[in-house]
Amino acid sequence: MNLNEKAIAVCPGTYDPVTNGHLDVIRRTASLYDEVVVAVVNRAVRKSGVLFDIEERLAFIEHAIEGFENVRAEAFSTLVVEFARSVGARAIVKGLRAISDFEYELEMNQLNRRQDPEIESVYLMASPLYSFLSSSGVKELATFGGRIDDLVPDEVAKRLQEELRR
């Protein structure tokens, strides 16, 4: 990397919905890189249908990252390494919560390195406060009236309760 070149990282995910755990990883990534692109998957293969459409997921993230000068959100529908390359990123940053995350991410890292060995995968351990937190867990809690106000941004909690009450 040229010393004048910006260090850019991509934080990919479905973000359906964005959680405080996601935001913790994004905040920590923003302190390590000059620029961070929160890459919101528009078509997920691993996960079934999403609750929120791409525009709403992007809006949730954009609102949550308003105070971060070096972070922006963008949708993508390609391989994550292709997206990273297109925005000039040299790193894909993901959070790891448990062994199951590690096993999946190890496999993805190997596949991504085959596509572009110049793009590194970087993993941040989940903060203890969020080590149990997942979007699917939040949706399940919200479905059955559980308390989620400390797990997601306020507007996400409100929309989840509206959407899942139907």
pLDDT in tens, 58-72: 999 999 999 999 999
Q: Could you count the other beta carbons within 10 Å of the beta carbon of residue 26?
A: 25
In angstroms, rounded to a whole number, what is the distance separating the alpha carbons of residues 20 and 36?
17
Residue 20 lies in a domain: yes
Residue 143 lies in a domain: no
Residue 100 lies in a domain: yes
pTM: 0.92
What order of strands is seen across the sheet that includes strand 91-96? 71-76, 35-41, 8-13, 91-96, 120-125
Residue 58 lies in a domain: yes
Residue 90 lies in a domain: yes
Residue 161 lies in a domain: no
Residue 50 lies in a domain: yes
Residue 44 lies in a domain: yes
Q: What pLDDT score was predicted for residue 45?
A: 58
Q: pLDDT per residue over 1-26, tens digit each?
A: 566 789 999 999 999 999 999 999 99
Q: What pLDDT score was predicted for residue 164?
A: 82
Q: Look at the chain and report how many structural domains it folds into.
A: 1
**Any bridge partners for residue 74, and if so which?**
39
Whichever domain contains 95, its CATH number is: 3.40.50.620
Q: Could you count the other beta carbons within 10 Å of the beta carbon of residue 165?
A: 9
The rounded mean pLDDT for the chain is 93
Domain that holds residue 44: 8-128
